[in-house]
Chains A and B, each alone.
Chain A
Amino acid sequence: MVGVVTKMTKSVMRSKKTIYLYLVILAIAIAYTINSVSTVAVAASSITFGLPLAMAAMVGIMCERTGVVNIGIEGTLLTSSFFGFFVAALSQNLIWGLIAAIASGAATGLLLALLTVSWKMDQIIAGTIVNILATGLTSFFYKQGYSLPAIFPRWSIPGLAEIPFLGRVLFQSGPITYFGLIFILVLYFAIYHTPWGLRTRAIGEHPSSADTSGISVLRIKYTNVVIAGAFGGLTGAYLTLELVGSFDRGFSAGKGFTALAIMIFGRWNPIGALLAAVFFGFAQALANQLMIDGLVNIPGPFINMLPYVLTIVVLAFSAGKVRGPAAAGQPYEREKA
């Protein structure tokens, strides 16, 4: 474990990325000396806006690494924030809401796995079904006039929370934020350094070879898609129980699709996707802060469309150059002997 970490650090140090890292730190330092309040606010909002996108992108990564294209992330987010909110509101207990969100997210994953892995349906249409079913269910059962008892409180981590800048940005967050960030790091480690990760990647690249070498292709596909759905459920719980504290029709507002763009931008790599998501969050946070400080006057609709425009621009520049898992999108069928 320690060896792996030092090896990772060394490879980071050697790469061109180090220069970018220094540039980012330098830019933050300059901004911080000019206007510390706004800089901290923008950095903190970058994490707040970026985290749900990063977490949702993990859903996509886990699915695509096993060869399942998941267009249904949007539906997973919508369903889980719906159940998270209403179970928490009806039971007046956030923990029940959290459990309901995760369970309903896993259920959408199970549905997707059933449609794509067992029934070998077209994966794009299957994901669209998840989305449209989620929209129908949540808008029919939606009732006005419910509210949460509270939202998840922020936990200041003793010691770390007092660090200037970083403490306010990272270490005064809610529980799901911490868990989400840790999960992303663990997922990165798991994909590249564990047997599970090797099997998963093998299935995503060449399922028949994986099958020949004795990997249970269908079982791992099912497990990954369902776990990914559960994590998508946690993302929904983050949105409603930790960030916003309410629910409305069409609550997820396209985040599931933006997450797919972030997955591609981050090259199907959890850390890459996290950085991409923080970049998206930063763009939105910066626009908001410029508005608040009265430096620019952009009409609201243009602020709202920023993440969507960014998604298309980013994809236009990165999609042609990167390559996803080779077998993503294809149903796996064993050759008949």
Chain B
Amino acid sequence: MRFIRAWITPLIALFIAFAIGAILMITQGSDPVKAYQSLFTTAFSTQEGLAKTFGKATPLAISGLAVVIGLRAGLFNIGAQGQLISGALAAAWAGYAITGLPMIAHVPLCLLIGGFFGSIVGYIAGALKAYRGIHEVITTIMLNSIVLQLAEYLSNGPLKEEGSIIARTPEVLDTAKIGSVAGLPIGFFLSGLLALGVWWIFKKTTTGFRFETVGKNKNAAWYAGIAVKRNTVFAMVACGALAGFGGAVETLGVVGKFEPAFNQGLGFDGITIALLARANPLAVIPGAILFGGMRGAGPTMQFSAGVSPEIIDLILAIVLFFVTAPIISRILKLKNDTTTQVTSGWGSN
């Protein structure tokens, strides 16, 4: 019964969102059956489509996990986007600038560097939250824009590929590339392992327990002797490291270089996935696969049914709305099962 209750709201939300999407397609004179059919057959039944789906799902899953850690620790990490970009760019740099390493050392090094740069961005937001009481939503949004501008500057200036017209870094070396197994990118298996890891941290370790206690009740956590500020910073650093790692996986496994336009919106989809998964790390994976399929195959709807791929943005926004707003649970008379309470004041803790 508990199982059904946990899944029913997200499923109904998805259903409603697809229904509204269909209505919108009809008003625009397109055939929704055809559009959805091409979307899902491309995404989930062709070899090429599956590779694309799981390629897209990988960074989505990891940034979703980054948001999940935040939510569990009472932080609303809107900054997965910026953390991911800094990780992606750093990994791209490490991928082409560091030479002479064997693959077994180069790939992990690039991933670590990506994670490290992501964690710096997370640290800034976490420290400002813990020691200055500035809400992480504001700082992470601002950091998203700052990181994007910095990345644009770097990939169009110091780190630009020689002779390239558009802003992008050189291709990473072959020793830094993550390949695929049986048509599925290895990065995706990494994201699965990470999901298990995050689940394990919250299930079995004191670190996870501290995060959750701080997230549920700061005063109680303080009274129990938990260093609230340090754990807040630590949680944000973990979010940032994870998202940066996700960006690195995207660079090394899918894109092969850094291009500012490529990673747009991944972090925001991560928020929707995390809330759809009700902050459960294991549920992030199926959510990411679904979203990855929709993102990867969205453009094919344009060919087959004349639907602009931005419909996916709208469908995902509607999913988020119905998952978080207590409409469905009210109608079904479920106990009010709000996932999270992340509000705190601007100038206080």
Chain A residues engaging chain B, CB cutoff 8 angstroms:
69, 71, 115, 119, 121-126, 128-129, 132-133, 135-137, 139-140, 142, 253-254, 257-258, 260-261, 264, 299-302, 304-305, 308-309, 311-312, 315-316, 319-324, 328-330
A305-B149 in contact (CB<8A): yes
Interface membership of B217, Cβ < 8 A: no
Q: How far is the CA of A132 from the CA of B271 in the complex (A)?
A: 10
Interface membership of B150, Cβ < 8 A: yes
Interface membership of B230, Cβ < 8 A: no
A257-B142 in contact (CB<8A): yes
B160 → A minimal CB distance (Å): 12
B310-A139 in contact (CB<8A): yes
Residue of A nearest to B347 (CB): A319
Q: Give me the 5 closest cross-chain CB pairs, A-B, nearest first.
A: A136-B317, A301-B153, A136-B314, A305-B149, A301-B149
A69-B343 in contact (CB<8A): yes
Q: Which residues 299-339 of B sit at the A interface, judged by CB distance below 8 A?
A: 308, 310-311, 313-318, 320-321, 324-326, 338
Q: How far is the CA of A139 from the CA of B311 in the complex (A)?
A: 8
- Return the contact of B78 from the options A128, A133, A316 (Cβ within 8 A): A128
Q: How far is the CA of A253 from the CA of B348 in the complex (A)?
A: 27
A299-B338 in contact (CB<8A): no
B138-A329 in contact (CB<8A): no
A136-B318 in contact (CB<8A): yes
Q: How far is the CA of A125 from the CA of B320 in the complex (A)?
A: 10
Q: B268, B317, B326: which has the most chain A beta carbons within 10 Å?
A: B317
- A69 CB contacts on chain B under 8 angstroms: 343
Provide 5 A-B residue pairs closer than 8 Å at the C-beta atoms, listed in order of the A residue.
A133-B321, A140-B24, A301-B153, A308-B146, A309-B146
B138-A261 in contact (CB<8A): yes
Interface membership of B137, Cβ < 8 A: yes
B197 → A minimal CB distance (Å): 26
One of B50-58, B91-99, B127-135 contacting the partner: B127-135
- Return the contact of A129 from the options B145, B320, B348 (Cβ within 8 A): B320
A135-B317 in contact (CB<8A): yes
A329-B320 in contact (CB<8A): no
Q: A308-B146, A312-B128, A316-B134 are in contact. Are A133 and B153 (CB under 8 A)?
A: no
A137-B314 in contact (CB<8A): yes
- A124 CB contacts on chain B under 8 angstroms: 76, 135, 137, 342-343
A264-B347 in contact (CB<8A): yes
Q: How far is the CA of A321 from the CA of B138 in the complex (A)?
A: 17
Secondary structure of the A contact surface, majority rule: helix
Q: How far is the CA of A128 from the CA of B340 in the complex (A)?
A: 13
Residue of B nearest to A120 (CB): B326
Q: How far is the CA of A124 from the CA of B311 in the complex (A)?
A: 25
- Counting residue pairs across A and B whose Cβ atoms lie within 8 Å, the total is 140
- B325 CB contacts on chain A under 8 angstroms: 115, 119, 121, 126, 129
Interface membership of B41, Cβ < 8 A: no
A329-B347 in contact (CB<8A): no
Q: A135-B313, A264-B346 are in contact. Are A125 and B145 (CB under 8 A)?
A: no
- B308 CB contacts on chain A under 8 angstroms: 140
A304-B149 in contact (CB<8A): yes
- Return the contact of A257 from the options B141, B156, B157 (Cβ within 8 A): B141
Residue of A nearest to B275 (CB): A125
Q: A123, A320, A322: which has the most chain B beta carbons within 10 Å?
A: A320
B139-A315 in contact (CB<8A): yes
Q: How far is the CA of A126 from the CA of B133 in the complex (A)?
A: 21
Interface membership of B212, Cβ < 8 A: no
B310-A128 in contact (CB<8A): no
Interface membership of B345, Cβ < 8 A: yes
Interface membership of B86, Cβ < 8 A: no
Knowing that A258-B142, A299-B157 are A-B contacts, what are 12 other residue pairs whose CB atoms are under 8 Å apart, sorted by A's residue number?
Answer: A122-B342, A122-B343, A128-B271, A129-B324, A132-B317, A137-B317, A257-B138, A312-B142, A312-B143, A312-B146, A316-B134, A324-B347
B324-A315 in contact (CB<8A): no
A308-B145 in contact (CB<8A): yes
Q: A139-B310, A140-B311, A301-B153 are in contact. Are A308 and B347 (CB under 8 A)?
A: no
A305-B145 in contact (CB<8A): yes
Q: A125-B340, A312-B139 are in contact. Are A323 and B321 (CB under 8 A)?
A: no
Q: How far is the CA of A261 from the CA of B311 in the complex (A)?
A: 32
Interface membership of B272, Cβ < 8 A: yes
A301-B152 in contact (CB<8A): yes
Residue of B nearest to A316 (CB): B132
Q: How far is the CA of A31 from the CA of B268 in the complex (A)?
A: 45
Residue of A nearest to B272 (CB): A132
- B348 CB contacts on chain A under 8 angstroms: 323
Q: How far is the CA of A321 from the CA of B134 in the complex (A)?
A: 11
B236 → A minimal CB distance (Å): 14
Q: A121-B338, A140-B311 are in contact. Are A328 and B345 (CB under 8 A)?
A: yes
Interface membership of B37, Cβ < 8 A: no
Q: How far is the CA of A254 from the CA of B149 in the complex (A)?
A: 13
Residue of B nearest to A123 (CB): B343
Interface membership of B341, Cβ < 8 A: yes
- A299 CB contacts on chain B under 8 angstroms: 153, 157
- B219 CB contacts on chain A under 8 angstroms: none
- A142 CB contacts on chain B under 8 angstroms: 310
Q: A128-B78, A129-B324, A257-B138 are in contact. Are A323 and B314 (CB under 8 A)?
A: no
Q: How far is the CA of A139 from the CA of B124 in the complex (A)?
A: 31
Q: How far is the CA of A126 from the CA of B315 in the complex (A)?
A: 17
- Return the contact of B341 from the options A122, A132, A140 (Cβ within 8 A): A122
B342-A136 in contact (CB<8A): no
B343-A320 in contact (CB<8A): no
Q: How far is the CA of A119 from the CA of B341 in the complex (A)?
A: 14
Q: How far is the CA of A139 from the CA of B268 in the complex (A)?
A: 15
A313 → B minimal CB distance (Å): 10
- A71 CB contacts on chain B under 8 angstroms: 137
- B141 CB contacts on chain A under 8 angstroms: 254, 257
- B345 CB contacts on chain A under 8 angstroms: 324, 328-329
Q: How far is the CA of A122 from the CA of B215 in the complex (A)?
A: 14
Q: How far is the CA of A29 from the CA of B242 in the complex (A)?
A: 52
